[in-house]
Amino acid sequence: MIITLDNISKEFGKNILFSNLSYTFEEGNKYAVLGPEDSGKSTLLQIIAGKESLTSGKIIYLEKDKEISEDKLSRKISIASPYIHLVEEFTFSEMVDFHFKLKKTAGNISQSKLHGIINLPSIFGKKKIAHYSPSIKQRIKLLLTIFSNVKVILLDEPTYNLDSEGIKWFQQLIEDYSGNRTIIICSNSKEEETCLCNYQLKIEDFK
């Protein structure tokens, strides 16, 4: 999918997050959206996902030269963010079952394969997610997002709460399973996140 931001702006009252932003995300590339805390990166990702409205401008979504309507975006885009929470009353298996009732799995991957990829100790099988560490919760968010059968993957600060081992795991996950999908990563210029990307969009350039 190709996503074109056409002269978009977002304001909250007198606070201008960004204005006159034009940019195109091409299919199969990896992009880093860079900026400090509260610069509008997360809001931009929410806008691209169709979960937040624009103040002005428009976004055009194209797949095989056909425009995709906003009501179909949830089938085409998957997002992981510190502000999107798991269902903590679920076990990992229940969370996987619930998520993939809403989205198909990429490559019809099995739940046992997902267990192997996330490498959870067997003791976690019966534990509620509420009792998992922040690092494992973040791994689950990333796993569910990346293994959704979608055209676009949006990752907001994907190494949030990850230790050094978790960061290596995330980087390998992107290397092995991103395929020919468009990936957009919001980051505070962290090398462990931006090193994965071919292109950079600095949101501060559009204040």
pLDDT tops 90 at residue 38: no
Report the mean per-residue pLDDT for the chain. Answer: 91
pLDDT tops 90 at residue 121: no
Give the pTM: 0.93
pLDDT of 131 reads 92
d(CA 83, CA 74): 17
pLDDT of 116 reads 86
Burial of 187 (0-12, 13-18, 19+ CB in 10 A): buried
**Angle value at C-alpha 112, between 177 and 193, nearest 5 degrees:** 30
Q: What is the mean pLDDT of residues 2-8?
A: 97
pLDDT tops 70 at residue 107: yes
d(CA 190, CA 184): 14
pLDDT of 23 reads 97
pLDDT tops 80 at residue 52: yes
Q: Using 50, 70 and 90 to split pLDDT, how confident is the model at 115?
A: confident
Greatest mean pLDDT among 70-79, 102-111, 144-153:
144-153
Q: How many residues does the chain have?
A: 207
Q: What is the mean pLDDT of residues 111-133?
A: 82
Q: Which residue has the tokens 């199969």?
A: 28
Q: What are the two backbone dihedrals, phi and then psi, of residue 63, each rounded to the nearest 5 degrees? A: -135, 115
Q: Using 50, 70 and 90 to split pLDDT, how confident is the model at 145?
A: very high
Q: What is the mean pLDDT of residues 31-50?
A: 93
pLDDT of 111 reads 80
As a CATH number, domain 2-206 is 3.40.50.300
Q: Using 50, 70 and 90 to split pLDDT, how confident is the model at 122?
A: low
